[in-house]
Amino acid sequence: MKKYSALFRIRFINSLQYRAAALAGLATQFAWGFMEISAFSAFYRANPAAFPMEFSQTVSYIWMQQAFLTLFMMWFWEYDIAASIIEGSIAYEMVRPLDIYNRWFCQITANRLARAALRCAPILIFAFLVPEPYRMTLPPDAAQLFLFLLSVLLALCVVVAFSMLMYISLFYTLSPTGVRLFIAVISDFFAGGIVPLPFFPAPVRAVAEWLPFAAMQNMPLRIYSGNIAGMDAFAGIGLQIFWLAALLAVGRLMMSRALKRVIVQGG
């Protein structure tokens, strides 16, 4: 564990070095969130009755999404992991006394956390200061906040476990870019990255709520905003745990098979 906290620290300090990058990133995400909220507010004005969430919930959803963007977006890619598989330097990794699956899992998690740690606080502070109706609200109570934090953690793990499948698939495919883009796009869409799940038409939503993607950003963002509360929140966290376990199991199985192949073929 010590190794990974060191990794986190290095990445964090590294990203601090680039202050202009950090500021630019903040400005971008802030503007992005602002534009999204403006668009939703236009739809809200058009027909408040058809709005499936409370407007303030949507606002919180969007700000939280921007604040934790780097935690959940599928298209962030660890080039050194991908390169180690494609170029075959994974053979060296196998010599080290660390389980490769765990190692990569922690590396990706640490990287995503380091990126988000720098960005989330300023965005959230802004989001609490901007005037109504753009202002973000706190969750209804402390319990909800706690559930949210738990759910963020689980969602991050689900995202990482899912992206591990993409890395492992590199052992088999030769042309990863297209497939990767495709999967990233689909998963971001069904995780509520473009439009929150409550805005989906009822039949699509009914299916989407059960997919592994629903266990990604969808769950913590809606728990925070209070759109999912009480027993539903517990059920949601249950769904996250289920998908996390399933993805971990599948990932580990695929990994051990892929590694056997590497050994047989000599990398």
> Distances in Å between the alpha carbon of 197 and those of 101, 191, 217, 234?
31, 7, 10, 18
DSSP 142: H
Closest distance between another protein and the C-beta of residue 140, in Å?
A: 26
Which stretches within 130-217 are classed as H helix? 142-169, 176-190, 202-208
Nearer residue to another protein within complex by CB, 148 or 167: 167
Under a CB-based contact definition with an 8 Å cutoff, are residues 41 and 55 in contact? yes
Query: If you count them, how many residues does the chain have?
Result: 267
Kindly identify the residues of this chain, within the stretch 7-26, that bind another protein according to CB under 8 A.
9, 13, 16-25
Judged by CB under 8 A, does residue 6 bind another protein? no
CA angle 257, 217, 256 (to 5 degrees): 5
Nearer residue to another protein within complex by CB, 168 or 188: 188
Nearer residue to another protein within complex by CB, 34 or 242: 34
Judged by CB under 8 A, does residue 180 bind another protein? yes
Judged by CB under 8 A, does residue 98 bind another protein? no
- The 147-176 site mask, x for binding another protein (CB under 8 A), equals ---------------------------xx-
Whether residue 133 is preceded by a cis peptide bond, meaning omega within 30 degrees of 0, is yes
Closest distance between another protein and the C-beta of residue 131, in Å?
A: 13
Computed from CA positions of residues 65, 51, 194, 157, in that sequence, does the dihedral angle turn out positive or negative? positive
Which residues have C-beta within 8 Å of that of residue 48, sequence separation ≥ 6?
55
The whole-angstrom separation of Cα 200 and Cα 193 is 12
Residue 30: name the closest of 98, 124, 104 by CA. 124
Kindly identify the residues of this chain, within the stretch 24-83, that bind another protein according to CB under 8 A.
24-25, 27-28, 31-32, 35, 38-39, 42-43, 46-47, 50, 52
Closest distance between another protein and the C-beta of residue 244, in Å?
A: 24
Nearer residue to another protein within complex by CB, 130 or 150: 130
Binding residues for another protein, rule CB under 8 A, total: 43
Interface contacts to another protein, rule CB under 8 A: 9, 13, 16-25, 27-28, 31-32, 35, 38-39, 42-43, 46-47, 50, 52, 174-175, 177-182, 185-186, 188-189, 194-195, 199-201, 204
